[in-house]
Amino acid sequence: MTPAASSAPPPLAAFASVVGAWALFREHRSAFWVLALPIVAALLASALGQYPFGRRLILFLVPTLLLFVAAGAERIHRAAEAGAPFVGPLLAAFLFLEPSASALRNLVSPSRYEDLRPVVRHLAERWREGDSLYLYYDAQFAFRYYAEREGLALRPDVVGSSSRAGGSRT
């Protein structure tokens, strides 16, 4: 599974978040705007090229999106409760199924992929005389490998040292 694929929300959660956002907009407009304005601001800053909208830099939006999902799940459950009492538990199961399966997959087979090539390319393009470079001790070998491939004749000023004295992991 690629990093981009694992960050996509399950379709049911996405649907529930849209339903929840719409329900909040219709019933509690001020609460909706308090929750939605950071999303709008981040998207606007991204459109203006001032903020990268993606990956770790939008983690602050997760609580808001979870509130939208919860509001949507509650709204869907309320709408279906009269005719189908099993919809609520079924909806909850589907909402938790994909994240639970993904967590189990990552537990059994954790991703160990760390690509240093984009970092080396970034350095090669922007390196200026007088710049300094610190490398984490465990990254030095991969850095040197990719630096040679990118034609970057640069050695780090400082390479960190292992803090795992005596084999203990602290």
Q: What is the per-residue pLDDT across 88-107, written as a single tens digit (0 to 9) for each?
A: 777 777 778 878 888 898 88
Count Cβ atoms below 10 Å from residue 4 Cβ, excluding itself.
9
Q: Count Cα atoms within 13 angstroms, Cβ side, for 92.
A: 6
Mean pLDDT of the chain: 80
Residue 82 tokens, joined: 């009269």
Residue 40 has pLDDT above 80, yes or no: yes
In tens, the pLDDT along 112-156 reads 666 788 888 888 888 788 888 888 877 888 888 888 887 777 766
* Exposure b/e, 33-67, CB count within 10 A at least 16 = b: eebeeebeebeeeeeeeeeeeeeeebeeeeebbeb
Residue 85 tokens, joined: 């009492």
Contact 95, 10 (CB under 8 A): yes
This prediction's pTM? 0.52
Q: What is the pLDDT of residue 165?
A: 58
Q: What angle do CA 144, 146, 149 make, to 5 degrees?
A: 110
Which one-letter DSSP state was computed for residue 9? P
